[in-house]
Chain A
Amino acid sequence: MKRRARDYWGIVYLVPLVFLGVFYVYPLLSILDVSLRPAGVLDLTAFVRLLTSDYYSGTLLFTVYQAALSTAFTLLLATPCAFVFARYQFRGKTLLLSLATLPFVLPTVVVALAFATLLGADGLFNDLVKTLFSLDYAPIQLERTLAMIIIAHVFYNFAVALRIMTSYWSSVGLGIEEAARCLGADELALWRDVRLPLLRPALLSAGALVFIFTFTSFGVILILGGIRFATLEVQIYYQAVNMFNLPLAAALSLVQIFSMLAMMVVYTATQKKLHLAPVSSKTTAKRAKSLVERLGLNVCVALIAILLFSPLVALILRSMLAAGQLDLANYASLAQKSRGSLLFIAPLESVFNSLRFALMAMTMALILGLIASYMIKRRGRLSRLLDPLFMLPLATSAVTLGFGFIIALDEPPLNLRASWLIIPISHTLIALPFVIRSVLPSLRSIPPSLREAAQTLGARPIDALLTIDLPLLGRGIAVGATFAFTVSMGEFGASLFVAQRESVTIPVVIYRLLGDPGMTSYRQALAMSVLLMLVCAAGFLLIERLRIAGVGEF
């Protein structure tokens, strides 16, 4: 009986591996094979060109440099805020945490327009500083600088770090901290010797995710960085699409993947098992009382408002004002199909398409991600390899993988090239790492003794899973679900592939509108972006509701 149960789990564990094998490894190997063995013989001249060129080593260095800077700034700003969110109870906390995730869903073109409104030479911040200090020039000159790239990366990734750390920190009890305080530790010692070491699993988990995300940055580099900056991802796109130099693109993709793997190996090696008695957030979070506490809380809320919400508000205002006047005709027109043209469905119809794909991708990513997290948590050499493996889709150039799909998934039973299924599947691939990174830190910290106790008392493994693990993981699962949902809502590359009516999603509509010259196109695109934010915000709140209703507040 016992043996049979174990076999059954082995099969379940296979599911995420099969998924990754079929939809990631197989297409990737196919395109690498076609690129590097064009005549059936391995041709490594592209690698020679890479290794002997200063230009490409420069690109690699810059890619690592900007990703490291972006990650450092994101963690630096997000860690104190995560502390505040985990430790203090205040009104609107859940709402604020949810809304902080909104930047993640917006297309880069739209964010660039919002940033120009705020930080451009004629932007609001410059106007403000000019009036305050009666200057006759624009003091903030950030357009197309490295600083702008970093700001945009922090804008996009702040919530990733904030939410992963807050969810983990909320379940870390105050016992050790109080003990340290009794032994005379001051605030600095508390941070250095107690809080940061305790937070380490979540800090590293979030850091790894942010690093990979910015390491493969594309739109932000091109649009906000301008032509002076290029990451490996930009070079791969240029070589693969414009030059059709597949060997060089493949070589660059491999460099990208192996740099990522190297980083992940270091990361996995520094992971330590840390068993903490999980506690309810009700016991860790209190009201901010002292002046210092209230000050810290307000600084964090202000930071989020300035960093995350001011561009969003600028975008909303811009979508509603025409020549300084309130004008909502562009919103009203979203319900109609304005052009008799194929593929120009009524923009509102695209909301349903987006939601459908996001729900599919979220469900698949949650199921596969949870199974994968359990698999990674188990000790053993294999599981140490699995953690980096599931991160790889995020570290692989989208254009490389896209070409891989074209040549690999072209025969029945897997002829997916013209099928809408490619959309939720590719969204799931990108969403998986977010689910795993959100769940894994909490999962690792659950002491095995809890489950053993349950089993001693006669609980079947499935009961232990439902009554012990799920409630303790609820917060992490909700964060993972939120990001999976968001990743799918905001992604548009895969949705462009298939052009059936049902595959026209919100981002596709935004890009299409911004491809046509003219005021109505422009203003409808802005209105559509605001709609995208609203739909996502509603989705986030619903996920929170479901979490509390499903597994209870813990």
Chain B
Amino acid sequence: MILRTVAAILLTLAGICAAAAQDESRLVLLTHDSFAMTESVLEAFERHSGVSVQILRSGDAGQMVNQAILSKNNPLGDLLYGVDNTFLSRALEAGIFAPYESAELAYVDEAFIPDDSFRVTPVDFGDVCLNYDIAYFEERELQLPASLSDLTKEEYRGLLVAENPATSSPGLAFLLATIAQFGVDGEHTYLDYWQDLAANDLLVVDGWTDAYYGEFKVTGRDTGSRPMVVSYASSPPAEVYFSEDPDAGAITGAIVGDNMCFRQVEYVGILAGAANETAARQFIDFMLSPAFQEELPLNMFVFPVREDAMLPEVFAEYALIPENPAVVDPADIEANREDWIQAWMEVMLR
């Protein structure tokens, strides 16, 4: 009995060895755990190219980039998709990407292309903005805040919930928006601003889910008590898309005033030393094609970078795109992330 079970364990180990066999006609896409894509679209690529695509999710964006750097000498996959401008510098400095300039970039606004080395290719973007409960503001005839400074006014006291920049990606994005707006030196820095926010009864929680489902009060949902939350510009159309009655219209809105949002751009890059570089290039072209780009909004609630990509109806109707989001250079972010967050922690926990 026991011998047999030991044999079973050894057989399992043997199975592990067998599972390790590499497959030539396979493309491995390393991505973060929010990745989603319409199955039929991916299948069309597989049919067309004769390459099967394996998706390897690797935790959040930070974990994914770190894993790619750690496995630089023996890459986990052929492509890495989902590194954003807050982690881009780290990935570029570590030299994990092989350059590729896709012809499809002709359809992409140049502002999305980080530099002329083409080590990464932009795929999508999303803006981190304040969301609000429409009914709350309408019932009280409360004006929407027109700038970040407005949030420290008495009428918005205790209304906002934000995320911790140390543990949350939208939290960091919002911190960066305040850094772009108020700066790190001078009379009134971003830290002074956060102090004012805290004095105006700001609530900070660890992550997006806790903020959005735990603390954000939306009419019709029985959780939360705050009618404003740091979320995405795409959350209101998603809220309609996933509502139980999509015809009822929007229940939340995004505030997209100048310098009130921070734009996250997501990139894809070929991992240096990829086993299947030709297929990886084909896949990047495919990611920029209308077929893939137009599926992005309803799968991951981000916007396509391709200019002629059509938006789905619910996005066309309910999504707002900020005209002037706040901008912080990726190299500045990587160089100062720790100091900025540390200083923020000290102010907020005082």
Contacts and interface: CB of A to CB of B under 8 A. Distances in A.
Interface stretch (A149-157, A191-199, A516-524): A516-524
B6 A15 contact: yes
Interface stretch (B108-116, B143-151, B200-208, B321-329): B200-208
Interface stretch (A97-105, A241-249, A301-309, A435-443): A241-249
A356 interface: no
Interface stretch (B36-44, B133-141, B283-291): B36-44
Given A228-B349, A323-B220, A342-B38, A499 B16 contact: no
Interface stretch (A65-73, A75-83, A404-412): A404-412
A7 to B, nearest CB: 13
Interface stretch (A109-117, A166-174, A177-185): A109-117
Interface string A366-408: 0100000000000000000000000000000001001100110
B142 interface: no
A501 to B, nearest CB: 10
Contacts of A240: 66
A399 B60 CA distance: 12
Contacts of A339: 36, 299
Interface in B35-77: 35-40, 42, 54-60, 62-63, 65-67, 69-71, 74, 76-77
Given A341-B38, A403-B67, A498 B213 contact: no
Contacts of B204: 226-227
A222 B36 contact: no
A162 B337 CA distance: 45
B19 interface: yes
B214 interface: yes
B244 A520 contact: yes
B220 A499 contact: no
Contacts of B244: 322, 329, 519-520, 523
B206 A222 contact: yes
A198 B178 CA distance: 61
A418 B56 contact: yes
Interface in A488-547: 496-500, 511-512, 514-523
A223 B58 CA distance: 22
Contacts of A12: 2, 6
B205 A121 contact: no
B39 A241 contact: no
A250 to B, nearest CB: 12
Contact of A242 (B71, B74, B337): B337
B33 interface: yes
B214 A112 contact: yes
A242 B166 contact: yes
B221 interface: yes
Interface stretch (B117-125, B184-192, B234-242, B266-274): B234-242
A496 B241 CA distance: 25
A364 B239 CA distance: 43
A118 B252 CA distance: 26
B214 to A, nearest CB: 6
Interface string A1-36: 000000000011001000100000000000000100
Contacts of A523: 244
Interface in A233-278: 237-238, 240-245
Contacts of B40: 340
Contact of B225 (A121, A226, A238, A342): A121
Contacts of B5: 367
A43 interface: no
A344 interface: yes
A227 B220 contact: no
A57 interface: no
Contacts of A344: 36
Contacts of A452: none
Contact of A406 (B20, B35, B54, B70): B70
Given A342-B55, A418-B54, A413 B37 contact: no
Residue among B1, B6, B77 facing the most chain A CB atoms (10 A cut-off): B6
Contacts of A227: 164, 166, 204-206, 345, 348-349
Contacts of A329: 244
Given A322-B244, A415-B20, A421-B15, A517 B70 contact: no
Interface residues of B, number: 78
B16 A413 contact: yes
Contacts of B33: 496, 511-512
B199 interface: no
Nearest to B235: A517
A434 B206 CA distance: 29
Interface in B245-298: 252
B55 A499 contact: yes
Given A222-B207, A241-B62, A412-B20, A340 B55 contact: no
Contacts of A521: 242
Contacts of A322: 244
A242 B62 contact: yes
B129 to A, nearest CB: 13
A62 to B, nearest CB: 13
Contacts of A340: 38-40
A318 interface: yes
A364 B9 contact: yes
Nearest to A524: B242
B81 interface: no
A416 interface: yes
Interface in B175-226: 204-210, 212-214, 220-223, 225
Nearest to A9: B2
Nearest to A11: B6
Contacts of B307: none
B223 A517 contact: no
A15 to B, nearest CB: 6
A498 B152 CA distance: 44
A383 to B, nearest CB: 19
B62 A417 contact: no
B164 A519 contact: no
B16 A414 contact: yes
B175 to A, nearest CB: 12
A410 B213 contact: no
Nearest to B56: A418
Given A399-B63, A499-B55, A514 B166 contact: no
A498 B57 contact: yes
19 contacts: A15-B9, A112-B210, A113-B223, A223-B205, A227-B206, A238-B167, A240-B66, A243-B338, A406-B67, A414-B17, A496-B33, A497-B57, A498-B57, A511-B33, A517-B232, A518-B240, A522-B213, A522-B221, A523-B244
Given A11-B6, A421-B12, A517-B252, 17 more contacts: A227-B164, A237-B167, A244-B69, A343-B35, A402-B59, A402-B63, A403-B67, A406-B70, A406-B76, A407-B71, A410-B71, A414-B16, A416-B20, A499-B35, A514-B213, A516-B238, A519-B242
